[in-house]
Structure 1
Amino acid sequence: MFMGEYRHNIDSKGRIIIPAKFREQLSQVFVITRGLDGCLFGYSAEEWEKVQAEVDKLPFNKKDARTFSRLFFSAATECEIDKQGRVNLPSSLVKYAGLVKNCVLTGVSTRFEIWDADKWDTYTEESQDDFNEIAENLLDF
């Protein structure tokens, strides 16, 4: 399970350190792709297979399902961790998430996310006030 919040810088070559706690749960090769809300999603190889199976169940005759599948899978890239614990992110994903220098890697149960630090700080500040109400609404779900 991925959990916690870690702050690392991305360098000019698109390399970022994957926290040791996350590396322990990843095999040598794992997947990073476009996420929602302007971040990147990272999955272990095992979890990626599960996610892929769920997305494959979307009805291909629905435009939104086709668009989501195309954008989600076309951006997916297999990544490897180097000897310094870094991963090299493709420039298209760096651009998508607006990663400039300061980044936040957050654990979200079965995946981790990579955020631009300013974007993450804004997101959490805006969402924090609604946390109790969101939890209450989800209980009805």
Structure 2
Amino acid sequence: MRFLGNIEARTDAKGRVFLPATFRKQLQVAGEEQLILRTDIHGKCLVLYPESAWNRRLDEISAKVSEWDEDEQMVLREFMAEAEMLTLDGNGRFLISKRLLQAAGIEQAVRFIGIKDTIEIWAAEKTEKPFLPQEEFASRLKAIMGKQQ
């Protein structure tokens, strides 16, 4: 499953938001009913994981974390503590908790951005400018694509 899109929406007074129809259709076709929402580890946004994508991430982390290493267990705890399980209601909406809204700096306007097998949710005003200036983006992409595997 690969999400693609850059769609603006609004939360209501309770913090509910409609998941864009294109993303809902993809989840439905894939049979994904459970979703996991957590803060992003790098930026001030939220990441919505279909359950299968979440389980893959969790398996990757768990395989590298020793249950005997306290520092590694703290990283796993932090990763898990930020996560909330959710489902869409009959109208295709889900509730973003106040805690997560605050962590991402979201007030009402949001932007959904499909990133590989997840969907990022940003405060819309944070996405008004490009994430990187065009020249810097081109330079960084060239460096990444030139790496040896």
Q: Percent identity?
A: 24
Evaluate the alpha carbon distance shift between residue 3 and residue 57 of structure 1 in structure 2; reply closer, same or farther with a 3 A threshold: same
CA RMSD of aligned residues (A): 1.8
Distance 2:50 2:140 in 1: 28
Three-state SS of the structure 2 residue aligned to 1:42 is: strand
- What is aligned with 1:132? 138
* Number of aligned residue pairs: 139
Distance 1:104 1:79 in 2: 19
TM-score of the aligned structures, taking structure 2 as reference length = 0.83
Indicate whether 1:92 and 2:93 are aligned: no
TM-score of the aligned structures, taking structure 1 as reference length = 0.88
- What is aligned with 1:80? 87
Q: Which runs of 5+ in 1 are unaligned?
A: none
Give per-residue Cα distances to partners, 1:27-82, cap 9 Å, x unaligned. 2221111113111111111111101101213344373x445423321111111111
Matched to 2:109, the amino acid is N
- What is aligned with 2:118? 111
Three-state SS of the structure 2 residue aligned to 1:78 is: strand
Distance 1:32 1:73 in 2: 10
Matched to 1:5, the amino acid is N
Evaluate the alpha carbon distance shift between residue 10 and residue 68 of structure 1 in structure 2; reply closer, same or farther with a 3 A threshold: farther
Q: Which runs of 5+ in 2 are unaligned?
A: none
Whether the aligned pair in 2 keeps the contact of 1:34 and 1:72 (CA below 8 Å) is: no
Three-state SS of the structure 1 residue aligned to 2:26 is: coil
Evaluate the alpha carbon distance shift between residue 82 and residue 127 of structure 1 in structure 2; reply closer, same or farther with a 3 A threshold: farther
Three-state SS of the structure 2 residue aligned to 1:95 is: helix
